[in-house]
Amino acid sequence: MMHADIPTFDDVQRAAVRIRQWAHRTPVLTCRTFDELTGASLFFKCENFQKVGAFKFRGACNAIMSLSEDEARLGVVTMSSGNHAAAVSLAARMRSIPAYIAMPETAPESKKRAVEGYGGKITYCANTEALGETALRIQEATKAHLVHPFDDPRVIAGQGTATMELLADIPGLEAIIAPVSGGGLLSGTCVAAAGMRRGMELFGAEPRIADDACRSFRARRLITDNVGSTIADGLRATLSERTLSILISHLRDIITVTEEDIIGATKNMWQRMKIVVEPSGAVPLAAILAQPNSFVGKRVGVIVSGGNVDVDHFPWH
Amino acid sequence: MMHADIPTFDDVQRAAVRIRQWAHRTPVLTCRTFDELTGASLFFKCENFQKVGAFKFRGACNAIMSLSEDEARLGVVTMSSGNHAAAVSLAARMRSIPAYIAMPETAPESKKRAVEGYGGKITYCANTEALGETALRIQEATKAHLVHPFDDPRVIAGQGTATMELLADIPGLEAIIAPVSGGGLLSGTCVAAAGMRRGMELFGAEPRIADDACRSFRARRLITDNVGSTIADGLRATLSERTLSILISHLRDIITVTEEDIIGATKNMWQRMKIVVEPSGAVPLAAILAQPNSFVGKRVGVIVSGGNVDVDHFPWH
Return the pLDDT at B1: 41
Give the separation between CA B204 and CA B212, rounded to whole angstroms.
12
Same-domain check for residues B116 and B175: no
Mention every residue, 6+ apart, whose C-beta is less than 8 A from residue A168.
none
Asked if residue B309 is part of any domain, the answer here is no
Return the pLDDT at B144: 98
Residues of B in contact with A314 (CB under 8 A): 311, 314
> How many domains does the structure of chain A reveal?
2
Under 8 Å between Cβ of A82 and A126: no
Q: Using one digit for the tens of pLDDT, what is the confidence trace for B271-316? A: 999 999 999 999 999 999 999 999 999 999 999 999 999 888 777 7
The answer to whether residue A1 scores a pLDDT higher than 60 is no
A-chain residue closest to B270, CA distance: A276
Q: Using one digit for the tens of pLDDT, what is the confidence trace for A134-181? A: 999 999 999 999 999 999 999 999 999 999 999 999 999 999 999 999
Please state the rounded mean pLDDT for residues B54-64.
98
Tell me the shortest Cα–Cα distance from B266 to chain A, in angstroms.
10
Same-domain check for residues B74 and B212: no
Element (H, E) at A207: strand A201-207
Alpha helices (H) in chain A, listed in sequence order:
9-19, 32-38, 56-65, 69-72, 83-94, 109-117, 131-142, 153-169, 184-196, 212-219, 241-250, 259-268, 279-290
Same-domain check for residues A139 and A165: no
Query: What residue type is B215 in one-letter code?
Result: R
The answer to whether residue B87 scores a pLDDT higher than 50 is yes
The answer to whether residue B11 scores a pLDDT higher than 90 is yes
Closest of A117, A89, A113, A90 to residue A101, by C-alpha: A89
Give the separation between CA B78 and CA B75, rounded to whole angstroms.
10
Domain ranges, residue B89: 57-146
Interface test with A, best of B274, B305, B312, B313 (most A CBs within 10 A): B274
Same-domain check for residues B244 and B176: yes
Asked if residue B214 is part of any domain, the answer here is yes
A-chain residue closest to B313, CA distance: A317
Q: Predicted ipTM? A: 0.92
| A198 in contact with chain B, both atoms CB, cutoff 8 A | no
Residues of A in contact with B267 (CB under 8 A): 311-312
Same-domain check for residues B73 and B197: no
Q: Using one digit for the tens of pLDDT, what is the confidence trace for A98-137? A: 999 999 998 888 889 999 999 999 999 988 888 999 999 9
A-chain residue closest to B317, CA distance: A312
Same-domain check for residues A195 and A290: yes
Please state the rounded mean pLDDT for residues A196-201.
94
Q: Using one digit for the tens of pLDDT, what is the confidence trace for B98-156? A: 999 999 998 888 889 999 999 999 999 988 888 999 999 999 999 999 999 999 999 99
Return the pLDDT at B316: 73
CATH, residue B125: 3.40.50.1100
Helix, strand or coil for residue B187?
Answer: helix
Asked if residue B316 is part of any domain, the answer here is no
Q: Please give the backbone phi and psi of residue B86, each rounded to the nearest 5 degrees, phi first.
A: -65, -40
pLDDT bracket for residue A3 (50, 70, 90): very low
Please state the rounded mean pLDDT for residues B81-91.
95
Element (H, E) at B215: helix B212-219
Please state the rounded mean pLDDT for residues B29-47.
96
The residue from A117, A146, A175 where one domain ends is: A146
Cα separations in angstroms, B71 against B57, B66, B92, B139: 20, 9, 12, 13
Same-domain check for residues B104 and B229: no
Same-domain check for residues A228 and A83: no
The answer to whether residue B77 scores a pLDDT higher than 70 is yes
Given B271, B310, B312, which is nearest A311 (Cβ)? B271
pLDDT bracket for residue A311 (50, 70, 90): confident
Given A29, A275, A317, which is nearest B276 (Cβ)? A275
Q: Please give the backbone phi and psi of residue A299, each rounded to the nearest 5 degrees, phi first.
A: -90, 115
Q: Using one digit for the tens of pLDDT, what is the confidence trace for B197-239? A: 989 999 999 999 999 999 999 999 999 886 788 999 888 889 9
Asked if residue A315 is part of any domain, the answer here is no
Give the separation between CA A269 and CA A34, rounded to whole angstroms.
9
Return the pLDDT at A236: 85
| B274 in contact with chain A, both atoms CB, cutoff 8 A | yes
| B53 in contact with chain A, both atoms CB, cutoff 8 A | yes
CB contact under 8 A, A274 and B307: yes
Q: At what angle do helices A241-250 and A153-169 cross, to 10 degrees?
A: 30
Same-domain check for residues B23 and B129: no
CB contact under 8 A, A307 and B274: yes
The one-character DSSP state at B121 is E
pLDDT bracket for residue A4 (50, 70, 90): low
Average pLDDT, chain A: 95
Same-domain check for residues A228 and A191: yes
Please state the rounded mean pLDDT for residues B23-34.
96
Beta bridge partners of A79: A102
Predicted TM-score (pTM) of this structure = 0.93
Element (H, E) at B300: strand B299-304
In chain A, pLDDT over 70 holds for what percent of residues? Answer: 98
Q: List b or e across B130-154, with b for residues whose CB sees 16 or more CB atoms inside 10 angstroms.
A: bbeebbeebbeeeebbbbbbbbbbb
Under 8 Å between Cβ of A62 and A72: no
Interface test with B, best of A83, A274, A278 (most B CBs within 10 A): A274
Query: What residue type is A264 in one-letter code?
Result: G
Asked if residue A31 is part of any domain, the answer here is yes
Residues of A in contact with B307 (CB under 8 A): 274
Give the separation between CA A27 and CA A50, rounded to whole angstroms.
9
Same-domain check for residues A78 and A191: no
Return the pLDDT at A226: 64
The CA-based diameter of chain A, rounded to the nearest angstrom, is 56
Please state the rounded mean pLDDT for residues B262-268.
96
Return the pLDDT at B4: 54
Residues of B in contact with A311 (CB under 8 A): 267, 270-271, 314
The answer to whether residue A84 scores a pLDDT higher than 80 is yes
Same-domain check for residues A117 and A217: no
